[in-house]
Amino acid sequence: PQPIRLADYRPPAFLVDEVNLTFDLQPNATRVKARMQVRRNGDHAEALRFNGERLKPISVAIDGRTLGEAERTIDGEFLVIPDAPDAFVLETEVEIDPENNKALDGLYMSGGRFCTQCEAEGFRKITFWPDRPDVLSRFTVRIEADKAFRHLLSNGNLVQSGDLPGGRRFAVWNDPFPKPCYLFALVGGELDVLEDKLVTMTGRTVDLRIYVDPGMAPRAAYAMDALKRSMTWDEEAFGREYDLDLFMIVAVRDFNFGAMENKGLNIFNSSLLLADPATATDMDFERIESVVAHEYFHNWTGDRITCRDWFQLCLKEGLTVFRDQSFSADMRGHAVQRIKDVKALRARQFAEDQGPLAHPVRPSSYLKIDNFYTATIYEKGAEVIRMLKTLIGPDAFRAGMDLYFERWDGHATTVEEFIRCFAEASGRDLTDFFAWYEQAGTPKVTLASRYDEAARALHLELTQATPPTPGQPTKRPLPIPVTVGLLDQDGRTQAFERDGKAIDETVIVLDGASAKITLTGVDRPPVVSALRGFSAPVRLESDAEPKDRYVLLAGDPDLFNRWEAGQELARALILARAEGRPDEVGEERYAEAVGRALSDQAAEPAFKALLLALPSEPDLALAMRPADPGAIHEAREALRERLAVHLQHELRRLHTGLQDLGEFSPDAAGAGRRALRNAALELLAANPRSEIAEVAAGHYAAAANMTDAMGGLNALMLIGGEPFEQGLTDFYERWKSEPLVIDKWFAVQARDPSETALGRVIGLTAHPAFDAKNPNRLRALVSTFANFNPARFHDPSGAGYRFLADQILAVDRYNPMIAARLIDALGGWRRYTPELGALMKAELQRIVSTEGLSKNVFELASRALA
C-alpha cells in the first residue's frame, strides 16, 4: 500500500456546496440517495473522483440524466466521472448493509439501533463523496424508517417529522453550518431522553437532550450537569457561545472510541456517558465530565474551524484536549489534575516516543489515518499548546485564540495558520517553536547547579538532547520553558533575583543546545525545584541528591514537584532493587517521609492518594534498560510490602477515618476522600498478615457505591485465593445484567498479577458474557491484560504474547481499527530483555505474514518491526 504524504496535499478538485441525503433505513439493505450541488474547484480538467467503499451502486445521474456504464466507472474505491461539467447536480443512489458492519465505521447497528461513525473516513462507506475534511457542505437529511425506530436524528435543526403509510416514519433535519462529512451523524431507534435547557451568554435558550437506552435516563443526569458546566465554562474562559438551538448526545454500546463530536449530535460510547453511584466509579464520573466537555468544546475547535487535511489532526485534538484539561483543572483542582494528566502523558505518549511508532505531533505520512489517533497527537498536542501559553503569557494567548476564531471561523485550516495567530497577537517570532510540531521524541533536559555562597549566586547549566526516532536520526534544539523555584534546606520558599527583580519563581527558556543562567540574591544554600508544574513534556535529569528530593517531598509549594519528588525516590528504590544495585535512597527513610506527608493536615486527600501510589510497572519499565517486567514487579511489590508494614497504623487510621457516612457526591472532595481510603486499602493489601483479607472482604461487602466495591475487589485480587474467588462470584451474580459493570469484572481479572492469571484470562474469552465484537468488552479483557498486567503479559514462555497476537488476528477480520490498537503492547519489543524481545518480535512477524491482513494492522505491525 502507498502512504499518503503531507507534501502531496492538493486542494479538492470538486466541491459540494449543498447536499440532500435521503436514508431509507433497513438493517440489511439501507438505501442512500444523495443530491449534491457540485462545482469544479479551480481551472483544471481532472476527472471527478469521489470515494466509496463497500457501497452497492444503484444509479448515478448528472443534471437529471442517468449516466451509462461508460460515463462513470467504479475504480477500486472511487466513483470516477471523466467528463463532469463545471457546475452540476449529481444524484447517486447506493445500498449498504448496516447490520453486517462489524467494523463500526460508517452506518452500523448497535443494540438494535442505527448509528454512524464517520471520522475519519467512514462517510465513504455511506455514500459516494469527496471524503476529506476540506470539503465543507450544507446538509439536509431526510430519514425514513419503520415506526419501531421511533427517534430519527441527524445534525442541526429538526425541520419536519411525521408518519408515513405502511407503519413507517420520517424526519427531516437541516444543519445551517457548512461542515466536512466526517461530522455527519445519524441515529435511528427506540431511546429514552433526558431533557434540559441552558440560557447562553447572549440570552438564547438552547434545548439539551441526551438519548439513552430505555430506562437509563436517570444515569445521564451527571453527563447533563457536566454539559451545562462545559457550555458556561467555554463562554467564560474562551468567549465561545453555542450556535444552534438544540444540542443532542446519544449513547451507544458498540463504539470504537470514546465519543464523537458530530455537529449538534455527539455520539458517545455509553461507558463515557452513563453513571450513577451504584454502577460507576469516581474515575468514571471524572472521565465522563472531561469527555463531555471535550466533545462539546470541539464545536468551536473542530467543527466551526476544522482541519484542512488529516495531517492537521492535532489542530483540533491537541487544542481540544488542552481545553478539556483546563476545564477539569478548574472543576477539580489544578495540582491534582496536572499530576493525573502528566501520569497519562508519560504512560502513553512517552512510551510511544521510545518505540518504533514514534511520530511528530504533526506527522508527515500515513497509510491509515485511524492509526494516528495517538497519545502524541492528543496529549503531546495539548502540552505544546500549554507551553505556548507559558511562553507568550495568558493575555497574548487569549488574544491569539480570539484572532484564530475570528479569522478561521467556517474554514478548514492548518497548524501554521493557528500558530501565526499567536505570533501576530504576541508580536513574537514563533518560527523555532514550530519545531515542536515537526520533531518526534522526548527531549532529555539535564540540569546542573552550583551555589556560590560568597556571591549569593546560583549558577544553573541546562542542556537538551532528543534521542533519534524512526526517520529522524538528528534532532534540533527546541524552545523549552523550564519553570524554576528555590527552597532552602529546611523546605522554606527562598526568594531570589533575576535581571534585578526579586521573585519566587521564574521561567527559563532553554532554546539552544545548552544555556547558563545565574540567579542572584540567593541567601541560603538552595534546593532547586525545576520544571515546576511539568512546564514542558521532557525528561528532566538533575544533579539533585536524594536529600534534596526529601526536602521537595516534604514541602515544595509546587504540588506537582512535591509529588514528583516522591515518585523519583520510589523509582530509584525500585529500580535499584530490580537491577541488583545498592539502595542510595533508603527504604525506611522513604517510608517515614511518606508517613509524614500522609499526616499533613493541609494537604488534600486526593493529593495524598496520588502520593501514596508508587510509579506503575509500565512507567518503571520505561526507565530500565533492558526492561525486565518480572524483576520490576517483584521489586515494586517488595517496596509496597515495606510501606504497608511501616505505615500500617496510619493506613488503618485513614481506612477507618475516611469512611463515607453522608450521602454520595461525585464531586472532587468526595472522590478525593474515597481515592485516599481505597489507596490505603490497596497498600494494606501488600501486608502479608492474613487479617488484611478480612478487612478487604469487609470493605467490599460494606461498599455503598461502585468506587468502594471496586476498591474492595481490587484489594481482594491483590491478596488472591478464596476471598478473591468469593468476591468475583458475588460481583458477577449481582451485576450480570449491567454490561458496563461486567466490563469491570473482566478488567479486574485481567489485572491480576498472580501466576494463574493468564490461564484465567484465556478461559474468560470463552465465558458466555465475553463478546469480542463489543470493543468495550474486548478492551476490558484483552487490552487491560496486555497493557496493565506486565508481570503476566511478559510471561517468559511467550504465552501472553501469543494470546495477544491470536486476538489481534481474530479481531482484524471484522474490526481492523480495534485490532490495530492492540498492536501497541508488542511494539516496544526492543526495550525488553533479549529473550522477551525475541518472543515479542516473533509474534509481530507472525502477524505481518498473515494473509488478508487489514491496512491498519499491517501499517502498525510492519512499522513496529522496521
**Residues forming the active site:** 295
Q: Is 153 in the site for ligand HT7 (CB under 6 A)?
A: no
Stretch of 12-20, 40-48, 259-267, 438-446 lying at the interface with ligand HT7 (CB under 6 A) = 259-267
Report if residue 119 touches ligand HT7, rule: CB under 6 A. yes
**From the list 51, 116, 154, 256, which residue makes contact with ligand HT7 (rule: CB under 6 A)?**
256
- Does 587 engage in binding with ligand HT7 (CB under 6 A)? no
**Binding segment toward ligand HT7, per CB under 6 A, in 252-260, 355-363, 514-522, 654-662:** 252-260
Choose between 123 and 731: whose C-beta lies nearer to ligand HT7: 123
- Of 117-125, 484-492, 530-538, 691-699, the window that binds ligand HT7 (rule: CB under 6 A) is 117-125
Residue selected from 67, 120, 336, 624 as contacting ligand HT7 according to rule CB under 6 A? 120
Among residues 213, 261, 276, 383, the one that binds ligand HT7 under rule CB under 6 A? 261
Listed ranges 116-124, 401-409, 517-525, 854-862: which one lies at the site for ligand HT7 (CB under 6 A) = 116-124
Quick check: helix, strand or coil at residue 193? strand
Q: How far apart are CA 70 and CA 52, in angstroms?
A: 18
Residues 720 to 739 in contact with Zn ion, rule: CB under 5 A: none
CA distance linking residue 435 with residue 438, whole number of Å: 5
Strand-pair category, 265-269 with 259-260:
antiparallel
Residue 328 binds which entry of ligand HT7, Zn ion, none, CB below 5-8 Å type-dependent: none
List of long-range contacts for 805-811, beta carbons under 8 Å, 24+ apart: 805/843, 805/844, 805/846, 805/847, 807/765, 807/772, 807/778, 807/782, 808/847, 808/857, 809/847, 809/850, 810/772, 811/772, 811/778
User: Which residue, 608 or 779, is less far from ligand HT7 as judged by CB?
Assistant: 779
Minimum distance, C-beta of residue 521 to ligand HT7, in the bound complex (Å): 47
Residue 718 Rama label (left phi>0; alpha psi -120 to 50; beta): alpha
What part of residues 277-306 is at the interface with ligand HT7 (CB under 6 A)?
A: 294-295, 298
Task: Write down the least CB distance from residue 380 to ligand HT7, Å.
Answer: 14
**CA–CA distance, 325 with 294 (Å, rounded to integer):** 9
Q: How far is the CB of 304 from Zn ion (least distance, A)?
A: 14
CB of residue 191 to ligand HT7, shortest distance in Å? 20
* SS3 at position 462: strand
Q: Which of residues 307-366 bind ligand HT7 (CB under 6 A)?
A: 317
Cα separation, 263 vs 296, whole angstroms: 9
- By beta-carbon proximity to ligand HT7, the closer residue of 98 and 526 is 98
536 binds ligand HT7 (CB under 6 A): no
Q: Tell me phi and psi for residue 249, to 5 degrees.
A: -130, 140
114's grid cell = 442505527
Tell me the HSE value of 793 on the side-chain side, using a 13 A CA sphere. 26
Window 290 to 349, contacts with Zn ion (CB under 5 A): 317, 320
Nearer to ligand HT7, 117 or 483 (CB): 117
Q: Which stretch binds ligand HT7 (CB under 6 A): 256-264, 445-453, 692-700, 824-832?
A: 256-264
Residues 357-416 that bind ligand HT7 (CB under 6 A): 370, 373
Tell whether residue 117 is a contact of ligand HT7 (CB under 6 A). Answer: yes
299 contacts which partner out of Zn ion, ligand HT7, none, CB within 5 to 8 A by kind? Answer: none
Cα separation, 515 vs 477, whole angstroms = 11
Neighbours of 28 (CB within 10 A): 11
Identify which of residues 119 and 254 has a Cβ nearer to ligand HT7 in the complex.
119
In angstroms, what is the minimal distance from the CB of 295 to ligand HT7?
5
Q: 298 vs 831, which CB is nearer to ligand HT7?
A: 298
d(CA 30, CA 502): 71
Of 377 and 552, which CB lies nearer to Zn ion in the complex structure?
377
Stretch that binds ligand HT7, among 115-123, 478-486, 784-792, 820-828 (CB under 6 A): 115-123
Could you tell me which of 135, 123, 139, 141 has the C-alpha nearest to residue 51?
123
Which partner from the list Zn ion, ligand HT7, none does 257 bind, CB cut-off 5 to 8 Å by kind? ligand HT7
For Zn ion (CB under 5 A), the number of binding residues is: 2
* Cell 457536566, located at residue: 226
Size of the site for ligand HT7 (CB under 6 A): 15
Residue 726's Cβ-count burial label (10 Å; 0-12, 13-18, 19+) is middle
Helix count and strand count (H, E) for the chain? 31, 33
We find the least distance from the C-beta atom of residue 433 to Zn ion, in angstroms, to be 23
Task: Report whether 860 contacts 6 (CB < 8 A).
Answer: no
In the complex, what is the shortest distance from the CB of residue 299 to Zn ion, in angstroms, rounded to a whole number?
11
Pairing of strands 137-146, 168-179: antiparallel
Question: What sign does the dihedral 231-235-239-243 (CA atoms) show?
Answer: positive
Write the interaction track for ligand HT7 spanning residues 802-821; mark x where CB under 6 A is met and - where it is not: ---------------x----
Residue 269 interacts with, from ligand HT7, Zn ion, none (CB under 5-8 Å by kind): none
Cis status, amide bond into 120, omega within 30 of 0: yes
* Amino acid letter, residue 746: F
- The residue of the chain with the least Cβ separation from ligand HT7 equals 257
826 touches 843 (CB < 8 A): yes
Could you tell me which stretch among 251-259, 323-331, 642-650, 820-828 binds ligand HT7 (CB under 6 A)? 251-259
User: Among 242, 247, 257, 745, which residue sits at the site for ligand HT7 (rule: CB under 6 A)?
Assistant: 257
Determine the Cα angle at 300 with ends 299 and 302, to 5°. 75
DSSP H or E segment with residue 389: helix 381-392
> How far apart, in whole angstroms, are the C-alpha atoms of residue 162 and residue 157?
15
Contacts of 694 (CB under 8 A, 6+ apart): none
Question: Taking CB within 5 to 8 Å according to partner kind, which of Zn ion, ligand HT7, none is near residue 260?
Answer: ligand HT7
Question: What residues make contact with Zn ion under the rule CB under 5 A?
Answer: 317, 320
Interacting residue ranges for ligand HT7, rule: CB under 6 A: 117, 119-120, 256-257, 259-261, 294-295, 298, 317, 370, 373, 817
